């Protein structure tokens, strides 16, 4: 048995793996947390039902960091994955190992995109609302999106098509009519913009990836321009606020009363709550809970949370304006192509820093493709166009 996943026997050729943020009825769902160790769901995620109906089989579940908010799974209660001293993303390992033709993952805070960028795989995070979130562990509901990682764009596209579409069980799922309209409104401009404001703090290797991608696109007849988009650089700061606030609220349900971990050490309800959560949640998650709780306090709501929502709207408008004129915004997905163990263990705030690159697509709900180690963020409903561009880089 591999360390990065729980395996299941499957004879199917069309095997996929899913990460541990998806509820399954034949295997436990833990979200990488001691809190949900051995938790068995009463129902399964909508996307799994759709994949099975399309002839896919689930070959296993890959590990995630606690509630999927970290870099690459380093906060997983069941252990992080390192190759040598280099942190590895379990879903990417599974794809590279051939456990499935694709990994279906929940992109909460960019981990799948970081994993794909560092492993040289292709990842697709579709437009928010195109794939049902029913049956995924809720964390940062306003941005998290069911995504796909595969060896190439073709496999990504195939699995995405099997999952996408309206689901009446998800109130944020887009109606088919809106998707059809949105897709029809996508115009190919044959132009890609590099966002210079997003190149801040990336190392030479990553800079080289950006340069290589730009060159490949140019070679294939795509005009590449550079835009200095200052507002987009604030996406990370705003997303950290929104994500933490939603996370704080969403993990409040794990209180030791109904299911999940319950402390043995309590004499009253307050101790039951406090001790269960203290004993079962990891440090990184606790810091996110505290931060989120703070942003929503009566004192801070308008100063912090509400402001972050305004920033979100500004960024969305600005990016939509840029995308009216080009097919995609080219930007890095990571600052470095490998996270070293000592760095990961020393800098506990690394996930909050690295999501500088992934937050623009998380906060706007715009689709993004990772290929050739870089991100191509497109306008809503432009998944097909992005996957075409990904072929070129």
Partner 1 sequence: MKYETVIGLEVHVELATESKIFCSCSAHSFGAEPNSHVCPACCGMPGMLPVVNRRVVDFGMKAGMMLNCDINRVTTFDKKSYYYPDLPGAYQTTQWFAPVAVNGRVDIETSAGKKSVRIKQIHMEEDAGKLVHDISEGTTHVDFNRTSVPLIEIVSQPDLSSAEEVEAYLVRLRTLLRYAKVAECEMAHGTMRCDVNLSVRPAGSDVLGVRTEMKNMNSIEAIKRAIEFETARHIDALENGTEVLVQETRRWDDAKGKSYAMRNKETAGDYRYFPDPNVMPVVIDDAWYEAIQNSVPEFPEVKREKYIALGLTEYDAERISESIMLCECFEEASEACGNPKEVVNWITSDVMRILNAKKMTYEMLNLDNQALGKLISLTGDGKISRANSKKILSAMFDDRSIDPEAYAEANDMLIGEQNDDMILDVVKKVIEADPKSVNDFKNGKEKALMALFGKCMKELKGNCDPQQLKVILLECING
Output DSSP code: residue 228.
Answer: -
Rounded to an integer, what distance in angstroms lies between the CA atom of residue 327 and that of residue 193?
Answer: 8
138 is an interface residue for partner 1 by CB under 8 A:
yes
258 is an interface residue for partner 1 by CB under 8 A:
yes
14 CB burial (10 A radius; 0-12, 13-18, 19+):
middle
CB 35 within 8 Å of CB 109: no
Question: 120 vs 112, 264, 391, CA distance in Å?
Answer: 12, 46, 13
38 CB burial (10 A radius; 0-12, 13-18, 19+):
exposed
Rounded to an integer, what distance in angstroms lies between the CA atom of residue 34 and that of residue 311?
Answer: 35
Task: Indicate the SS3 state at residue 70.
Answer: coil
Contacts to partner 1 from residues 216-255, by CB under 8 A: 245-246, 248-250, 252-253, 255
Closest approach of partner 1 to the CB of residue 135, in Å: 4
Closest approach of partner 1 to the CB of residue 142, in Å: 4
Q: Output 135 or 282, the one with its CB closest to partner 1.
A: 135
Site string for partner 1, 71-110 (x = CB under 8 A): ----------------------------------------
Output DSSP code: residue 28.
Answer: -
Closest approach of partner 1 to the CB of residue 90, in Å: 20
Rounded to an integer, what distance in angstroms lies between the CA atom of residue 203 and that of residue 334?
Answer: 9
Binding span for partner 1 by CB under 8 A among 136-144, 185-193, 198-206, 224-232:
136-144
366 is an interface residue for partner 1 by CB under 8 A:
no
Q: Output 112 or 365, the one with its CB closest to partner 1.
A: 365
3, 54, 161, 257: which one binds partner 1 (CB under 8 A)? 257
How far does CA 309 lie from the centroid of its chain? Answer: 20
Closest approach of partner 1 to the CB of residue 50, in Å: 15
Contacts to partner 1 from residues 281-300, by CB under 8 A: 293, 296-298
43 is an interface residue for partner 1 by CB under 8 A:
yes
Q: Output 45 or 116, the one with its CB closest to partner 1.
A: 45
Output DSSP code: residue 22.
Answer: B
Q: Output 158 or 170, the one with its CB closest to partner 1.
A: 170
Rounded to an integer, what distance in angstroms lies between the CA atom of residue 370 and that of residue 123?
Answer: 5
The DSSP bridge pattern shows strands 374-377 and 368-371 to be antiparallel
Phi, psi at 272, each rounded to 5° = -60, -50
273 is an interface residue for partner 1 by CB under 8 A:
yes
Q: Which secondary structure element, helix H or strand E, spans residue 142, and what is its range?
A: none
58, 64, 102, 137: which one binds partner 1 (CB under 8 A)? 137
141 is an interface residue for partner 1 by CB under 8 A:
yes
42, 84, 219, 264: which one binds partner 1 (CB under 8 A)? 42
Q: Give the residues lining the site for partner 1 (CB under 8 A).
A: 23, 31, 41-43, 45, 133-138, 141-142, 168-172, 245-246, 248-250, 252-253, 255, 257-259, 269, 273, 293, 296-298, 301, 305, 309
């Amino acid at each position: 048995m591999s360390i990065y996943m729980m395996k299941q026997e499957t004879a199917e050729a069309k095997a996929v793996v899913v990460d541990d943020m998806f509820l399954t009825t034949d295997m436990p769902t833990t979200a990488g947390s001691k809190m949900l160790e051995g938790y068995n769901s009463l129902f399964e995620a909508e996307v799994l039902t759709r994949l099975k109906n399309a002839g896919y089989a689930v070959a296993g579940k890959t590990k995630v960091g606690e509630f999927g908010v970290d870099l690459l799974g380093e906060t997983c209660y069941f252990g992080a994955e390192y190759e040598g001293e280099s942190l590895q993303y379990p879903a990417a390992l599974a794809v590279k190992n051939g456990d499935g033709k694709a990994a279906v993952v929940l992109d909460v805070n960019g981990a799948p995109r970081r994993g794909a960028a560092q492993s040289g795989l292709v990842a697709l995070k579709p437009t928010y609302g195109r794939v049902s979130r029913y049956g995924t562990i809720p964390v940062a509901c306003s941005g998290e999106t069911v995504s796909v990682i595969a060896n190439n764009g073709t496999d990504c596209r195939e699995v995405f098509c099997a999952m996408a579409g309206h689901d009446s069980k998800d109130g944020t799922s887009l109606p088919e009519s809106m998707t059809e309209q949105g897709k029809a409104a996508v115009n190919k401009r044959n132009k890609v913009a590099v966002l210079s404001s997003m190149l801040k703090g990336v190392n030479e290797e990553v800079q080289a990836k950006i340069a290589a991608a730009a060159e490949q696109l140019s070679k294939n007849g795509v005009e590449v321009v550079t835009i200095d988009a200052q507002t987009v650089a604030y996406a990370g700061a705003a997303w950290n606020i929104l994500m933490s606030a939603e996370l704080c609220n969403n993990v409040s349900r794990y209180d030791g009363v109904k299911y999940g971990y319950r402390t043995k050490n309590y004499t009253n309800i307050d101790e039951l709550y406090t001790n269960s959560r203290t004993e079962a949640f990891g440090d990184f998650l606790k810091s996110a809970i505290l931060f989120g709780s703070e942003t929503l306090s009566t004192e801070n709501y308008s100063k912090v949370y509400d402001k972050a929502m305004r920033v979100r709207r500004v960024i969305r408008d600005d990016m939509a304006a840029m995308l009216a004129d080009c097919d995609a915004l080219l930007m890095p997905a990571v600052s470095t192509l490998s996270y070293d163990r000592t760095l990961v263990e020393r800098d506990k705030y690394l996930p909050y820093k690295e999501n500088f690159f992934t937050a623009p697509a998380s906060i706007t709900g715009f689709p993004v493709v990772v290929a050739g180690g870089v991100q191509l963020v497109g306008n809503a409903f432009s998944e097909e166009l992005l996957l075409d561009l990904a072929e070129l880089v």
